[in-house]
Amino acid sequence: MTNLLNNAKQAMDQAGEIEATLHEDEAQILIDVADSGKGIPTEEQPFIFERFYRGEGKKYQVRGLGLGLSLSKMIAQALGGDLVLLKSSPDGTVFRLYVPKSKS
CB distance 35 to 87 below 8 Å = no
Which of 30-39, 44-53, 93-102 comes out lowest in average pLDDT? 44-53
pLDDT per residue over 54-67, tens digit each? 776 655 556 666 67
Question: Is residue 82 very low, low, confident or very high in pLDDT (cuts 50, 70, 90)?
Answer: very high
Measured in whole angstroms, the distance separating CA 3 from the mean position of its chain's CA atoms is 7
Homologous superfamily (CATH) of 2-12+23-100 is Histidine kinase-like ATPase, C-terminal domain (3.30.565.10)
Q: Taking the model in full, what pTM does it have?
A: 0.84
